[in-house]
């Protein structure tokens, strides 16, 4: 089984101009139009490069609005949300987190949460 991780599209919660405001990292932030466009482009890439067909592929999503909107914009129809995919408390300030993400890194708390989710899904027979 292969597992692909896809980050949600652009929203007020990940807009660099919002660092230090309540909008940055807000759990209830919806996708912006640019985020919906990114999701549609991502769906094309999944299909063209990985032969993943969103309409017939099951997907695990967080309970956050922006992740569910991304998944829907990509065309996925079989979605199941998991609280283990929700954002984790990483203990980093906004600019340090942004720098880490820009460099392709992840907070260690996110890595541990992802491992727990994968183990949980495998135990439940998701894959």
pLDDT in tens, the chain (127 residues): 677 778 888 887 777 666 666 666 677 888 889 999 999 999 999 999 999 999 999 988 889 899 999 999 999 999 988 887 887 777 887 778 778 878 888 888 888 877 887 787 777 665 5
Measured in whole angstroms, how far is the alpha carbon of residue 53 from the centre of its chain?
18
Residue 63 is given by DSSP the state: S
Q: Which residues contact 15 (CB under 8 A, 6 or more apart)?
A: 23, 24, 32
Q: Is residue 116 part of a domain?
A: yes
Q: Is residue 6 part of a domain?
A: no
Q: Is residue 7 part of a domain?
A: no
Q: Is residue 68 part of a domain?
A: yes
Q: Is residue 27 part of a domain?
A: yes
Residue 86 is given by DSSP the state: S
Q: Rounded to the nearest 10 degrees, what angle do helices 33-50 and 65-74 cross at?
A: 50
Nearest to 35 by CA among 51, 49, 14: 14
- Give the Cα separation of 84 and 55 in Å (integer): 24
pTM of structure: 0.73
Q: Which domain holds residue 69?
A: 12-124
Q: Is residue 95 part of a domain?
A: yes
Tokens 């720098």 correspond to what residue? 99
Q: How many domains, in total, are found in the chain?
A: 1
């Amino acid at each position: 089984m292969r597992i692909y991780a896809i980050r949600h599209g652009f929203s007020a919660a990940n807009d660099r101009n919002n660092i230090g405001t309540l909008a940055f990292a807000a759990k209830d932030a919806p996708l912006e139009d640019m985020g919906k466009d990114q999701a549609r482009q991502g769906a094309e890439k999944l299909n063209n490069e990985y032969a993943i067909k969103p309409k017939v592929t099951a997907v695990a999503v967080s309970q956050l609005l922006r992740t569910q909107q991304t998944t829907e914009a990509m065309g996925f129809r079989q979605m199941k949300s998991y609280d283990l995919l929700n954002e984790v408390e990483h203990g980093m300030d906004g600019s340090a987190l942004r720098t880490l993400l820009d460099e392709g890194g992840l907070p260690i708390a996110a890595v541990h949460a992802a491992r727990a989710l994968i183990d949980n899904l495998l135990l439940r027979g998701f894959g």
